[in-house]
């Protein structure tokens, strides 16, 4: 049985929530977690959609982490 250590170079994560504050909190938690893996934020894309039935906004984001 072999044991191999490989460094993560790129990681893409998806987030979603019903408020912008909730979305920001989720992203910040993952930024802190990924810092331990020596990953930093490379790019962030986000969008907001409105639910046709309720009229409530729905937020989503994609965060690309890249190795230092």
Q: E-strand spans in the chain?
A: 10-17, 39-50, 57-67
* Angle value at C-alpha 30, between 29 and 31, nearest 5 degrees: 90
55: in domain: yes
Within a domain: residue 58? yes
17 pairs with which residues across the strands? Answer: 59
Contact 65, 33 (CB under 8 A): no
Indicate whether 4 belongs to any domain: no
pLDDT tens, 2-11?
A: 777 788 889 9
In a domain, residue 22? The reply is: yes
The per-residue pLDDT of the chain, averaged, comes to: 93
> What pLDDT sits at residue 33?
95
Please give the pLDDT value at position 65: 96
What are the tens digits of pLDDT across the range 25-46?
A: 999 999 999 999 899 999 999 9
- 32, part of any domain: yes
Range of the structural domain that residue 35 is part of: 11-67
Q: What are phi and psi of 45, to 5 degrees?
A: -125, 140
In a domain, 60, yes or no: yes
Supply the pLDDT for residue 45: 97
1: in domain: no
In a domain, 2, yes or no: no
Please tell me the total count of domains within the chain.
Answer: 1
């Amino acid at each position: 049985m072999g044991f191999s250590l490989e460094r993560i170079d790129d990681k893409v994560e998806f987030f979603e929530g019903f408020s912008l504050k909730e979305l920001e909190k989720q992203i910040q938690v993952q930024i802190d977690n990924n810092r331990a893996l020596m990953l930093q934020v490379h790019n962030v894309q986000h969008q907001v959609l409105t639910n046709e039935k309720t009229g409530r906004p729905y937020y989503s984001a994609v965060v690309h982490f890249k190795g230092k």
